[in-house]
């Protein structure tokens, strides 16, 4: 894909609560660190899903 940034790529996982604190829904956002700081890459319902997406994003051998 021509839009994929080069390597090395780095991302971070941010826990986000949507809605009010009593009925909020927690999701996990994968956000770029390098080369696109703060860019929302994906959103996941569980930390495990977010960790897997982070691994795929950062691992050049999976390209």
Half-sphere CA count of 3, side-chain side, radius 13 A: 1
What integer is the mean pLDDT of 48-63?
92
pLDDT at site 1: 46
pLDDT at site 18: 87
- Could you read off the pLDDT of 17-55 as tens digits, one per residue? 988 877 889 999 999 998 888 999 999 999 999 999 999
Topology classification of domain 10-60: GCC-box Binding Domain (3.30.730)
β-sheet bridge partners, residue 28: 15, 44
**Full-model pTM:** 0.81
Q: What is the layout of strands, in order, in the sheet containing 40-44?
A: 10-18, 25-34, 40-44
């Amino acid at each position: 894909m021509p839009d994929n940034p080069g390597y090395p790529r780095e991302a971070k996982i941010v826990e986000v609560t949507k809605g009010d604190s009593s009925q909020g829904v927690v999701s996990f956002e994968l956000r770029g660190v390098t080369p696109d700081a703060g860019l929302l890459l994906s959103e996941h319902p569980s930390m495990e899903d977010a960790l897997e997406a982070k691994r795929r994003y950062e691992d050049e051998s999976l390209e």
